[in-house]
Chains A and B, each alone.
Chain A
């Protein structure tokens, strides 16, 4: 989608109408990201979206279109959630380590989207972020590194570890569900 007309109109008028057009075009996807970032804490997700738009409106005139608008907005959102989590719990949950056996290709567990959402909610914020950005939203490591101010290698490494832990949670979840 070409977002320039929406942005140009907003910057030209600074009107409520132009803002709501922009808001409605972009927020449903960003809100879904915010819900996942907050492990489905709806109140916090709404706060993140509100803070994100306030910052975006302040900075939009300086946006240079070196990325898609959605990438830029997602970057603001991600960093707001990151700042909060840094304050609360530190990064990347170093305590999350892989302890189980790996599931080989031919013995993959069957899991649903609900199982996956639940497992992602259990990830540490840092792991969850990289899985959301890469495996759900489809950003490349280069883009993720730019958003999170990391180098690409760190992004790849985080994703590697995040997937391992995620699979562990999926197996645990499955075991729990299949226990008598």
Chain B
């Protein structure tokens, strides 16, 4: 009587699928149950420093547009002048060491107020750590939040020159905590 698997049987066992993607709504159902059982907190419960910073900067924006710079419109309403447009893309890798959230919040708020007080209009937002990359074959690669390098936020600003935009990037607290900022100038044809 044969007790061990034959080589052929091993081969077929070895070809069986090891993974199956669960239905998308299963994750949602589980998360909702965990939340209702108070076993996890929702993502918005603890704000990321950048979100806090953007929220905190609302007051600064108000000051900016009602104070010395009365009469100008926000980027969201007016759009930006492409000839002065820059995008700052915030990246993180394992060198990024966030500090105390409250301290970071204050730093980002102060940084934004300081930047805008110099006449530099901007907007921005935090981005989720995870990403989905689509290629020409319509294949979608999911990068989870543990990916080695993450794009975690962006700012769009109007600046007089690349040097000014670089100076804005250099002064951002993100650098201090070990992040990197990619500065991209708008393409104008």
Chain A interfacial positions (CB closer than 8 Å to B): 5-6, 13-21, 23-25, 27-29, 31-32, 35, 42, 46, 49-50, 53-54, 57-58, 102-105, 108, 111-113, 116-117, 135-136, 160, 163-164
Contacts and interface: CB of A to CB of B under 8 A. Distances in A.
6 closest cross-chain pairs (CB), A and B:
A28-B19, A32-B20, A31-B22, A16-B43, A57-B39, A29-B19
B40 interface: yes
Given A19-B31, A21-B145, 19 more contacts: A13-B46, A17-B145, A21-B146, A24-B142, A25-B144, A29-B19, A46-B22, A49-B22, A50-B26, A54-B33, A54-B39, A102-B2, A111-B12, A116-B12, A116-B13, A117-B16, A135-B5, A136-B13, A136-B16
A104 B16 CA distance: 23
B33 A14 contact: no
A53 B34 contact: yes
B contacts with A: majority SS: loop
Contacts of A14: 39-41
Interface string B15-48: 1111111110011011101110101111101100
Contacts of B26: 27, 31, 46, 49-50
B5 A23 contact: no
11 contacts: A14-B40, A14-B41, A15-B41, A16-B34, A16-B41, A19-B40, A27-B26, A29-B19, A31-B19, A35-B20, A50-B26
B51 to A, nearest CB: 12
Interface of B: 1-3, 5-6, 8-9, 12-13, 15-23, 26-27, 29-31, 33-35, 37, 39-43, 45-46, 129-130, 142, 144-146
A68 to B, nearest CB: 15
B43 A17 contact: yes
A38 B2 CA distance: 28
Contacts of B34: 16, 19, 53-54, 57
A20 B5 contact: no
Contacts of A13: 41, 46
A165 to B, nearest CB: 13
